[in-house]
Amino acid sequence: MHTEVLGRSDDGTSAAAETSADRVAVGADAAAFAGTLGHHRARDGSRGAPVAIDFDRPHAALVVGKRGYGKSYTLGVLVEEATRTPGVAPVVIDPMGVFRGLAADAAGDLVPARVIDDPTIRADAIPPARWPALVGTDPDRPVGALVWHAAETAPTLDGMRETVADSDAGGDVRRAAANRLRRAAEWNVFDPAGPDARALADGAATVLDCSGLDDAPSNAVAAGVAAALYDARLGRPSTGETDTPGIDRLPWLFIDEAHVFFQGVASASLRAILTRGRAPGVSLVAATQRPSALPEVAVSQSDLRVVHRLTAGSDVRALAAADPSYLDADLAESMPTAPGEALVVDDTAEATRTVAVRTRDTPHGGSSPRASAAARAIETAE
């Protein structure tokens, strides 16, 4: 049965800008650069032809849906497929610790993946202007201004703390800034050695487990990793580095609970990928149950939208704002009803498809614990 590849036009090209991926694809089997998402689902519920997603060109994708309808599960399917695609470097920001199963044994082809339990970034991966917000202070107040100055002066958190200690600001301001930076040090996410874009782009998927971190340090990790991957593809040194750690593979950054990151200090780095990532070949797949909490640019810049069931009017409206003319029915009326079912809006082919997303080849860790399952387990043990 013919596989339809979403995100790719009939002649095999996509709307995305030319990148070095073109060179990789020359003479190669185009199917190797597409990943199976599932099958077409007809109106009567019957299963149609396979549907794949294009991994040859960079894309900006959204996966949305209310709790329990398969958003994280589908993100996992996409990571599995990206990991099996040559020339792609998948990196997952995992705020809930539900993608750890990607590193377990897979059914079918290997899914080479590693989990990093304590992700770190360089302090200077966060632009100085964003340091005050990161540590919860106002850049227009003396404490925030001192934190900003420290970030401009020193590339490491230790160096920033020294700058604050040595400053001639008033005692209260100095103490308050020192306290903020001490708390940031307690997050244990700042390390002058990390992350290395080349290590992240060695071909295996990397899952950055942020489940032990609050929103602010999780945002710091996402911002630092996004900036490192973007800079590496541009072949320019990340802040503070002297060499140019270019990477050949095309990074795909997968972010679950994306609203947390678009509302935090990571937002600017994610927006940069959305608006300028195609030329250097950096892709973003953002998943959220609350599309209305994303900035408008996250919806308008996405060229692939995988829509699981959504019922809140504000969320449906946020997506409908990007509703293309080729979506023939009202988005609310086209909403999938069952978990694992999705409406895929493909701007490249200017088409929508109803897809039954395939089952995971690695264990999915997202289901909520259920009392009924616990009771059954206790009964079996007795």
Q: How far apart are CA 37 and CA 146, in angstroms?
A: 49
Q: Which alpha helices (DSSP H) does the chain contain, by range?
A: 21-25, 71-83, 131-134, 142-153, 157-166, 171-186, 197-200, 215-234, 258-262, 267-276, 296-300, 313-320, 331-334, 371-381
Residues 326-345 that bind ligand ATP (CB under 6 A): 339-340
**120 CA to centre of own chain:** 16
Among 7, 50, 58, 70, binds ligand ATP (CB under 6 A): 70
The site string for ligand ATP over 263-292 (x = CB under 6 A, - otherwise) reads: --------------------------x---
Minimum separation from the CB atom of position 226 to ligand ATP (A): 22
Q: Please, which residue, 146 or 345, has the CB nearer to ligand ATP?
A: 345
Among 69, 190, 252, 261, binds ligand ATP (CB under 6 A): 69
Q: Please, which residue, 65 or 277, has the CB nearer to ligand ATP?
A: 65
Stretch that binds ligand ATP, among 15-23, 122-130, 145-153, 362-370 (CB under 6 A): 362-370
Among 71, 130, 161, 259, binds ligand ATP (CB under 6 A): 71
Q: How far apart are CA 253 and CA 273, in angstroms?
A: 9
Q: How far apart are CA 141 and CA 165, in angstroms?
A: 18
Minimum separation from the CB atom of position 272 to ligand ATP (A): 26
Question: Contact between 120 and ligand ATP (CB under 6 A)?
Answer: no
Question: Contact between 67 and ligand ATP (CB under 6 A)?
Answer: yes
What six digits make up the tokens of 148? 């900003």
**Burial of 302: CB neighbours in 10 Å, binned 0-12, 13-18, 19+:** buried
Question: Contact between 72 and ligand ATP (CB under 6 A)?
Answer: yes
Question: Contact between 159 and ligand ATP (CB under 6 A)?
Answer: no
Stretch that binds ligand ATP, among 69-77, 83-91, 210-218, 369-377 (CB under 6 A): 69-77
Question: Contact between 68 and ligand ATP (CB under 6 A)?
Answer: yes
Minimum separation from the CB atom of position 288 to ligand ATP (A): 9
Minimum separation from the CB atom of position 256 to ligand ATP (A): 7
Q: Please, which residue, 164 or 207, has the CB nearer to ligand ATP?
A: 207
Name the region of 136 (left: φ>0; alpha: ψ -120 to 50; beta: rest).
left
Q: Please, which residue, 236 or 290, has the CB nearer to ligand ATP?
A: 290
Helix axes 142-153, 157-166, angle to 10 degrees: 130
* C-beta of residue 99 within 8 angstroms of C-beta of residue 379: no
How far are the Cα atoms of 5, 55, 279, 350 from residue 16, in angstroms, in the given order? Answer: 15, 11, 8, 14
| Cα separation of the two ends of the chain | 49
Q: How far apart are CA 10 and CA 30, in angstroms?
A: 12
Stretch that binds ligand ATP, among 100-108, 131-139, 233-241, 364-372 (CB under 6 A): 364-372
* C-beta of residue 101 within 8 angstroms of C-beta of residue 362: yes
Q: How far apart are CA 290 and CA 298, in angstroms?
A: 12
Minimum separation from the CB atom of position 123 to ligand ATP (A): 31
Enumerate binding residues for ligand ATP (CB under 6 A).
Answer: 65, 67-73, 289, 339-340, 357, 359, 364, 366-367
